[in-house]
Amino acid sequence: MSLSFSSLAHSQPSKHFDPSFLSPLERGNFLLKQSLYDEALKVYQSLIADKIGGEYAFRGLVQAYRGKGDLDAAKIWVDKFLLDNPNSSSALYATGYIYYLRKDMGKADNFLNQALESDSNNALALNNIGAVLLSQKLYTQALSKVQEAIRVNPKESMFFDNLRRVYKEMGDPSLIVADYNYYLEQGGPFELIKNYGLAASRNIRQNSFRLYSEGHLDKAIAKWMDIEKIYKKINHQNGLVPVYFSLGLLHEEKGDTQNAKKYFNRVLKLNPMHIQAKEKSSSIR
């Protein structure tokens, strides 16, 4: 197949973004994603000085130093903070995270567990211990820690992606889909169901790409329709745009122009400025 499906599936026109509406922590994260490490570092250091942001501010600080290629400086900065705040769960987590990034899993585990002794609800520390255990192929223990992190903070999407990674390492990535179906049936909190749904959809999407590359168009289409059902259930309207665009591309390649146009038009109904969908829809007669 000649179609560059995986790249086109996410094509959308860029949107103007105004960072002035972000919270201080969000602004630091925005600067970090833009690789503006010095600016991000100032934001995180200011948050920590003002005792705002908790372990997330420390995580951002470590990542900013990492972006600068200077984890040693991160360690020095956090060590100085710990001199005055020896029981800071956030700072102990940051030290463990630094050692994790250095691949020193023994010291990472030590400091991360100290962070939990100081605050048993430090979800980032729980999640990071899960990552340490996963690196050691201790799958059952890793699974338990990541699930505990999710129980503490079901709003953190990163934890669900890490859970999906644990399942993949265990050899059964489809378990994340089973989790979604379970909590959907049980009627769990919406945020929990939503994040399980998003993680499950990422797994299904990868299966669709694999099926497409193997030449199974109908099966790939079925996977995207499964994603559509999940997104409708969790009210993820923005996610439906790439779903419908992907379905349009697949039906177009299959030669089903009627369904292709239908899905491109669904994209335009949700996002009238979608350039590629406009071009595709107008080209189909």
Identify the CATH number of the domain in which residue 123 sits: 1.25.40.10
Q: What is the DSSP letter of 19?
A: G
- Residue 285: the pLDDT is 76
- Per-residue pLDDT tens over the stretch 163-180: 999 999 999 999 999 999
* C-alpha to C-alpha distance for 187 and 181, rounded to whole angstroms: 10
- 157 is written with which tokens? 């999407």
Tokens describing residue 211: 């099926």
Per 3-state DSSP, the chain is made up of helix, strand and coil in percentages (nearest 5) of: 75, 0, 25
**Buried-state track 178-208, b at ≥16 Cβ within 10 A, e below 16:** ebbeebbeeeeeeebbbbbbbbbbebbbebb
Q: Which helix (H) or strand (E) holds 20?
A: none
Q: Is residue 230 part of a domain?
A: no
In a domain, 90, yes or no: yes
Q: Which residue has the tokens 């993949």?
A: 168
Residue 101 lies in a domain: yes
H helices present in 171-189, as ranges: 175-186
Is 223 inside any structural domain?
A: no
Which residue segment(s) compose the domain that 122 sits in? 35-172
- In the predicted model, residues of the chain with pLDDT beneath 50 are 1-4, 6-8, 13-14
Q: What is the pLDDT of residues 3-35, one digit of tens each?
A: 445 444 555 544 555 666 889 999 999 999 999
User: Looking at residue 218, what DSSP letter applies?
Assistant: H
